[in-house]
């Protein structure tokens, strides 16, 4: 996989060159290239932005530097790559998730175009459609100053799914979002810490009981924190004990809601 990032803040992305990406790069499976957009601005001040046609607040990124930087990324595309993918981080994009990370891990060449200011002149994105597959992507429903942090999130999530790039393939197979439920809680030594005990079942050596306990904890957590994921979970994947637990959780939730309503009424009363 080749990643290109074109940005006016390459230093934001520099930490990726160390840590995790260092290992992934050594494996030869990942190749990261940072390009400073200002290297393609040729006036005295290396200007990359200008005022918007039609008026309005803020500045717009000029098309010429982006055009040249994208030309360079195309020229450096690996021979094996089909049309490279151009990811434009934007709160208006499709929402990034673990499935998207899996799909993107199969690509040969991804170019990221994180924008600052009010965005990039739209003609750049129109032209890019002729040379790239263009994909606007959001990392969640909130707004950032620029797309750089979103690029870091995506590169990290994608890189750990590239076979051979991480060196820990087993933990991937067991993973939280892939299974459609949140992870169970984990514990290590000491068995007592600040008067808190590790759940005894984990010390029992009973592998069946441990597996059941972990499954129950996954379901309880997912029910409490991510009811949307419980709803989306394939019905045929619930076993008998799962269904019994879900029943209990629903009953408990109803009772809690009733108690809350009654407390509200009596305080209003």
- Provide the binding-site residues for ligand J9T, judged by CB under 6 A: 89-91, 115, 138-140, 142-144, 146-147, 150
Q: Read off the tokens for 17.
A: 């060159």
Q: Which of 173, 170, 84, 172 is nearest to 133 (CA)?
A: 84
Rounded to a whole number of angstroms, the minimum distance from the CB of residue 92 to ligand J9T is 9
Rounded to a whole number of angstroms, the minimum distance from the CB of residue 140 to ligand J9T is 5
Question: Are the beta carbons of 204 and 210 closer than 8 angstroms?
Answer: yes
Nearer Cβ to ligand J9T (4/148)? 148
Burial class of 266 by CB neighbour count within 10 A (0 to 12, 13 to 18, 19+): exposed
Alpha helices in the chain (DSSP H): 10-17, 19-26, 63-75, 98-104, 122-128, 148-159, 169-173, 176-179, 207-225, 227-232, 240-268
Nearer Cβ to ligand J9T (10/147)? 147
Nearest-angstrom CA–CA distance, 84 and 73 = 9
Cα 20 to chain centroid distance, Å, stands at: 15
Question: Are the beta carbons of 211 and 242 closer than 8 angstroms?
Answer: no
Rounded to a whole number of angstroms, the minimum distance from the CB of residue 95 to ligand J9T is 8
Rounded to a whole number of angstroms, the minimum distance from the CB of residue 154 to ligand J9T is 9
Rounded to a whole number of angstroms, the minimum distance from the CB of residue 184 to ligand J9T is 29
Nearer Cβ to ligand J9T (95/224)? 95
Nearer Cβ to ligand J9T (7/90)? 90
Nearer Cβ to ligand J9T (143/265)? 143
Nearer Cβ to ligand J9T (21/139)? 139
Rounded to a whole number of angstroms, the minimum distance from the CB of residue 212 to ligand J9T is 38
Q: Output phi, psi for 130, to 5 deg.
A: -80, -15
Nearest-angstrom CA–CA distance, 30 and 114 = 20
């Amino acid at each position: 996989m080749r990643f290109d990032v074109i940005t006016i803040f390459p230093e934001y992305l520099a930490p990726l060159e160390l840590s995790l990406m260092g290992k992934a790069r050594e494996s030869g499976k990942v190749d990261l290239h940072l390009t400073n957009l200002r290297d393609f601005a040729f006036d005295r001040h290396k200007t990359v932005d200008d005022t918007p046609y039609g008026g309005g607040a803020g500045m717009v990124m000029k098309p010429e530097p982006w055009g040249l930087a994208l030309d360079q990324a195309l020229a450096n595309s690996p021979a094996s790559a089909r049309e490279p993918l151009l990811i434009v981080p934007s709160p208006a994009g499709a929402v990034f998730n673990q499935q998207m990370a899996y799909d993107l891990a199969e690509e040969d060449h991804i170019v990221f175009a994180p924008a600052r200011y009010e965005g990039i002149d739209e003609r750049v994105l129109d032209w890019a459609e002729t040379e790239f597959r263009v994909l606007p992507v959001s990392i969640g429903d909130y707004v950032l100053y620029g797309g750089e942090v979103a690029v870091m999130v995506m590169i990290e999530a994608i890189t750990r799914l590239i076979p051979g790039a991480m060196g820990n393939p087993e933990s991937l197979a067991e993973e939280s979002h892939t299974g459609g439920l949140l992870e169970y809680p984990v514990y290590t030594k000491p068995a007592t810490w600040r008067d808190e005990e590790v759940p005894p079942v984990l010390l029992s050596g009973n592998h069946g009981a441990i597996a059941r306990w972990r499954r129950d904890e996954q379901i309880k957590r997912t029910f409490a924190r991510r009811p949307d994921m419980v709803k989306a979970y394939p019905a045929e994947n619930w076993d008998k004990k799962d269904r019994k637990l879900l029943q209990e959780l629903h009953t408990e939730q109803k009772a809690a809601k009733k108690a809350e309503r009654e407390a509200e009424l009596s305080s209003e009363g």
